[in-house]
Amino acid sequence: MGLRGLSKQNVVVMIGCAASMVCMAGAIAVLVFGVMLVTKTAESMRTCTAEAEATLAAAQTETARPTMTPEPTGTPVPPTLTPVPADTATCPIAPPQVIEVVITQIVTITPGPGPAPTASPTVRPTPTPGELLGQVTTAGALIVSTDPNYAPQSFINDKGELAGFDIDVTREVAKRLGVEVEFVTPDWDMITSGNWGGRWDVSIGSMTITEDRSQVLWFADPYYYRPASFAVHKDNTTIKTPADLTGKAVGVGAATTYEAYLKGRLRLIDGQVMYDPPTGVHVKPYTTDAEAIQDLALGDGVRLDAVMSAQPTIQQAIASGVPLKYVGTPGFYESLAFALDKSRGPSDAMLAKLNEIIKAMHDDGTLTDLSLKWYGIDLTVIKPGE
C-alpha cells in the first residue's frame, strides 16, 4: 500500500518507529565503543603499571630533591622544567607513590633568564634580618601603625579619613623615602609589646622612649617632646594639686607611660620626671586615652576623678568642649620617637635612613610647621626640664 493510502496518523506512527530504531542503533554503537575503550584501558593499565614500577625502582636510587637557587639579589625567578620522558608522560594511571617519585624526578627548578617579579605593596617576603629598608623600597609602601582615636596626634576626621600630627609626619616620611604609605590601627599595647610578626614596618605614633620598651623595640631619634599632665572635671573643687589624687580613680591609656608613671615603674631613657607620682591612686586603664577622657566628661566622680595624658591631648579635648581643667604642672616630659620591631632583626639601614629624614625635617622647619598646625606651639624644640 502506498503512502497516499495512509492517514496522517499512520504516517506519524511510522516516522516515530523509524526514529526509535535509529536511536537504538546509536546506543548499541556507543555500548560497543565503551566495551572496546574499557578493554584498551585495562591493557594500558597493565602495561603502565609495569613501566611505573620500573620507574619507581630507578627513581629510588636518586637522592636529589627539588631546589630553588635564588638570583644574587635574592629574588626568585621563573623555574626551568626538565621535559617529561615520552614513555612516562603517556602513562594514564600510576600508583600514588610512583606519581610522587616521577614528579620529583621531572621537576628540577634552576635559575633562568627573565625579569624578577615585582612585589605588591601589601605582600612582603618573609622578614629577614637587616632587610627592612630594602623590603619597604622594593614593595613601594611603608606600613605604619597608628592610633585612630588619639587627637590631635591621630584620629578619624569628618571625612572618615585619618588626620593629625602623626599622620602628616608619616606621610612626609613616606614621601622622602619615595614610597606610598599604608596605615594599620592595632591596639596600643600590641604595638609597645613588640613581636609584630611583620604586620607593619614602623610605629609613628608619639611613642615615648623607655627602658622597658627598648627591650623589644628599636627607637629612632626623637622628633618632638611632650609634657604629661593631670586633668579633672571642671566642676571639681577638691583636687587642687596632684597630691590630692591619693585614693582617687585616675584614668589612663593602657600600656602608656602615664600608667607606668602612676604605678611607680616609669624608666625614661630620654626624658625627665618632674616629681614623684601621687601615692594610693586607683589606676584605671582604658584602651585609649580618649576613652578615659570621655568617662571623666560624664561628671565629677561619676566614673573617674581625674585623667593623666599628654598635655596636647587634654588641650584638644578642652578646645572641643569637653569640661576639663588642668591640675598642677606636668608630671614629666617625654621624648617621642618612631619605633621598629627588634624581632624582625637588625634594622640599622632603616634606622639610619629614618634618622636622616628626621634631622632634615627638623632642619628645614617641617616638624615645627606641623607642630604649630596641630598644637599651636612648637613642641619640637622643648627640651625635658626646661
What stretches of 300-365 adopt beta strand conformation (E)?
Answer: 306-310, 324-341
DSSP conformation class of 170 = H
pLDDT at 161: 96
Is 110 in contact with 150 (CB distance < 8 Å)? Answer: no
Tell whether 273 is covered by a domain: yes
Q: How far is CA 377 from CA 48, 88, 295, in A?
A: 83, 78, 28
pLDDT at 381: 77
Coil/strand/helix, residue 225: strand
% of the chain beyond a pLDDT of 70:
65
Q: Which residues, 6+ apart, have CB-to-CB distance to 187 below 8 Å? A: 254, 287
Q: What pTM does this model have? A: 0.60
In the structure grid, which three cell numbers stand for residue 162, read together? 585619618
Tell whether 195 is covered by a domain: no
Q: End-to-end CA distance of the chain: give it in Å, rounded.
A: 126
Tell whether 386 is covered by a domain: no
* Residues 93-142 pLDDT 10s: 444 443 333 333 333 333 333 333 333 344 554 544 457 999 999 999 99
* Residues 4-38 pLDDT 10s: 444 444 544 455 555 555 555 555 654 555 546 54
How far is Cα 310 from Cα 333, in angstroms, rounded to an integer?
A: 9
pLDDT at 124: 52
Mean pLDDT value across the chain: 78
Question: Residue 87: which of 48, 41, 40 has the closest Cα?
Answer: 48
How far is Cα 39 from Cα 306, in angstroms, rounded to an integer?
A: 89
pLDDT at 125: 47
Tell whether 184 is covered by a domain: no
Question: Does 70 have pLDDT greater than 60?
Answer: no
Q: How far is CA 88 from CA 53, 99, 100, 188, in A?
A: 11, 10, 13, 59
Is 331 in contact with 261 (CB distance < 8 Å)? Answer: yes
* Radius of gyration (C-alpha) of the chain in whole angstroms: 37
Is 112 in contact with 77 (CB distance < 8 Å)? Answer: yes
In the structure grid, which three cell numbers stand for residue 6, read together? 495512509
Tell whether 265 is covered by a domain: yes
In the structure grid, which three cell numbers stand for residue 122, read together? 601589601
Question: Residue 310: which of 144, 165, 157, 161 has the closest Cα?
Answer: 165
How far is Cα 354 from Cα 338, in angstroms, rounded to an integer?
A: 8
Tell whether 77 is covered by a domain: no
In the structure grid, which three cell numbers stand for residue 335, read together? 621624648
pLDDT at 285: 97
How many domains in the chain?
A: 1
pLDDT at 297: 98
CATH code of the domain in which 278 resides: 3.40.190.10
Instruction: Pick 157 or 58 by higher pLDDT.
Output: 157
* Residues 325-344 pLDDT 10s: 999 999 999 999 999 999 99
- Residue-range definition of the domain harbouring residue 244: 227-334
Tell whether 243 is covered by a domain: yes
In the structure grid, which three cell numbers stand for residue 206, read together? 608619639
Tell whether 157 is covered by a domain: no
% of the chain beyond a pLDDT of 90:
61
